[in-house]
Amino acid sequence: MADQAPSNEPQLEEEIATEAFPMLDDIINCPKNPGHKKFLPYNEFKMHHLPPRYRSEKLYRYLKNVGDSVVRLTVTCEDGSKRFGSGVVWKYRGVLYIYTNNHVVETDFQAKNTVIDFYYDYKNCPDIQYSKGTSLVYTFSGMDKSMITFDPVPKGFDHFYMPDSGRCRGIIKVNVDGVEIECRGLTCVHKDKTCVVVRNKPEISWTDDLAKQATAYFREFDERDKIYATFSGVFESNEEMTFLEFDEVPDMIRDEMTKEEHFWESVEGKTYPVVIAHPHGGPKMVTIGRKIELENKEDMGVVLHHSAGTCGGSSGGAVVAIGGENKVRGLYSYAFLHCQGCKSDKYTSQTGSDNVNTSSLSIWL
């Protein structure tokens, strides 16, 4: 018999909605957040709503850019039922996708029967533009992630600021004892140096001489657009990974890395997760909470436990942990995808909230 979870442990639930409300005031007796007092309509979100330490025009504009990419999803399932969730527009090798949870969109049928609302920022908003899912590109129930294509891209949707992590992923080839070995690498900024980080493999013992013999190529959009690079040596190495220093950073990589910026200085104990989502299948809302803990789970990877208010329909929303350590796998900006939550007073003395939520490290925003 499986061990039972301790009774005082929060019992997290997936946060989809089965009914859409155009105003949170219309919801009677929400079991998790009665009255929704801490939910701020997205169109009313201003810089002064941020914690005083982090009020800057730069961070505010970044959060608004992220918020503009958050969409409402209306998913029709195989049995004809509907579910409402949130999603985030994400760019990979020049193509835009919607990133959301597996429990929001699970199948190709559901992806093709998903209506996407851009700019649903308040009730009767005249700026809403609609799109439609066209296919399921990727889904993984274990990590609770799905990625779908969509069409059309709304007029005026600004995606040029978006980082494109696909352009920074490369293939490194090196000859070891007459055998050519390949490994994958990711461009990052490590200790203010632009490098390619690779996971260590038993068959490769990286040295400066070996790094100088290696070549790497990156793809801008497809297999035909290969951009090559070489290395000047090993910048740093540890048990898990090695950072290879470029001879010269390719222009495409340099351009992409300029989109990565520090939006705040990390302060221990001063992390404020910002959630932007469509709770209850209604207009876009912003909530700000406190970090509970960061955990590396075997099934879901890195997850953020936090107290920012969420409800059914918030699954798939964007979560940015401002004030937290903002380099992840060498990249900048913690970007999580909201997935589960519940009402519990276990951490109320720590956070001042009875919301306990889990959001998984997902995308580079």
Question: Each residue of 90-123: pLDDT tens digit?
Answer: 888 788 999 999 999 999 999 999 999 999 999 9
The predicted structure's pLDDT at residue 333: 55
Tell me: do 31 and 147 sit in the same domain: yes
Inside any domain, residue 97:
yes
Whether residue 329 has pLDDT greater than 70: no
| Among candidate residues 209, 235, 260, the one where a domain is terminated | 260
Tell me the pLDDT band of 10, cut-offs 50, 70 and 90. confident
How would residue 5 be classed by pLDDT, with cut points 50, 70 and 90?
Answer: very low
**Are 254 and 274 in a shared domain?**
no
What is residue 169's predicted lDDT score, i.e. its pLDDT?
86
Asked if residue 184 and residue 151 are part of one domain, the reply reads: no
Last residue of a domain, one of 260, 280, 309: 260
Q: 72 lies in which domain range?
A: 18-155+264-364
Encode burial over 185-220: b for 16+ CB neighbours within 10 A, e otherwise. bbbbebeeebbbbbeeeeebebeeebbeebebebbb
Q: 135 in a domain, yes or no?
A: yes
For residues 73 and 26, membership in a common domain is answered with yes
Question: What pLDDT does residue 327 have?
Answer: 52
Nearest to 195 by CA among 182, 180, 181, 214: 214
- How high does pLDDT run on average in the chain? 89
204 and 299 fall within a common domain: no
**Which CATH number characterizes residue 127's domain?**
2.40.10.120
Total tally of structural domains belonging to the chain: 2
Indicate if the pLDDT at residue 299 is higher than 90: no
Residue scoring higher pLDDT (265 or 231): 231
Q: Are residues 80 and 131 in the same domain?
A: yes
Mean pLDDT on 269-292: 95
How far, in whole angstroms, is CA 216 from its chain's centroid? 27
Instruction: Let me know if residue 11 belongs to a domain.
Output: no
User: pLDDT (tens digit, 9 = 90+) per residue, 129-157?
Assistant: 999 999 999 999 988 999 999 999 998 88
Domain-located, residue 4:
no
Buried b (16+ CB within 10 A) or exposed e, 126-140: eeebebebeebbebe
Domain-embedded: residue 164: no
Is there a single domain that holds both residue 303 and residue 220?
no
pLDDT of 302 higher than 90: no
Do the domain assignments include residue 12?
no
Same domain, 337 and 351: yes
Taking 90 as the threshold, does the pLDDT of residue 305 lie above it? yes
47 falls within a domain:
yes
Q: Are residues 46 and 147 in the same domain?
A: yes
Task: For residue range 36-94, list pLDDT tens digits in order.
Answer: 999 999 999 999 999 999 999 988 998 998 999 999 999 999 999 999 999 999 888 78
Tell me which residue of 222, 275, 253, 261 sits closest to 88, measured CA to CA: 275
pLDDT tier, 8 (very low <50, low <70, confident <90, very high otherwise): low
- Mark whether 227 and 284 lie in a shared domain: no
What pairing do the DSSP bridges indicate for beta strands 193-199 and 179-190?
A: antiparallel
Residue 2 in any domain: the answer is: no
CB 326 within 8 A of CB 332: yes
Residues 41, 119 within the same domain: yes
Assess whether 294 and 216 both reside in one domain.
no
Of 260, 275, 307, the domain-final residue = 260
Q: For position 235, which CATH number holds?
A: 2.40.10
- Please name the residues in contact with 149: beta carbons below 8 A apart, sequence gap of 6 or more: 95, 97, 98, 111, 133, 134, 135, 137
- At residue 4 the predicted structure's pLDDT band, cuts being 50, 70 and 90, is very low
